[in-house]
Amino acid sequence: MAYLKKNSNRSNSNSSNQEQKKHSGAKKGFTKKNEPYCTGWNYSKRHGLITFLCVPYAKTAVHTSGNGVEWLNVMVKVTRGIAGTSITSGLMDRRTHRTIVKELGIVINPGAPKGGYCGRYGKN
């Protein structure tokens, strides 16, 4: 016996030409002091809108990995709507501005297609 999907009529009404609504994005740029920065956002039904601002701070240092990639340690300001803001640290690739926040398991990649990516990385 075949069962109908719960919202089958909604999926049929959308044409296949429409793109899905974005749930994350990222941008990069430089401050007035010519320092790199990165912003990202992620939306989910469970957590709502979360925004990230990644900027160098006074004690920022350059670290070089084994394969020659230069990383900056940056301050990451996380804003979670009603829950407020928190500050944590992350590592930003100096060339691509890709930022990894290991504590939260988040990557912010402004170079990803369709406006960047901000979300989980790796396996659970």
Return the pLDDT at 22: 81
Q: How far, CA to CA in Å, does 20 sit from each of 5, 15, 50?
A: 19, 11, 19
Dist. CA 25–CA 41, nearest whole Å: 5
Q: How far, CA to CA in Å, does 9 sit from each of 13, 40, 82?
A: 6, 34, 34
Return the pLDDT at 121: 86
Return the pLDDT at 14: 52
Spell out the domains of the chain, with CATH numbers in brackets.
Answer: 21-119 (2.40.128)
Return the pLDDT at 103: 92
Dist. CA 99–CA 121, nearest whole Å: 11
**Nearest by Cα to 98 from 9, 4, 90:** 90
Return the pLDDT at 83: 85
E strand or H helix at 10, and its extent?
helix 8-13
Return the pLDDT at 12: 52
pLDDT tens over the chain, length 124 residues: 565 555 545 555 555 677 788 889 999 999 898 989 999 999 988 888 999 999 999 888 899 999 999 999 999 999 998 889 999 999 999 999 999 999 999 999 999 998 899 999 876 6
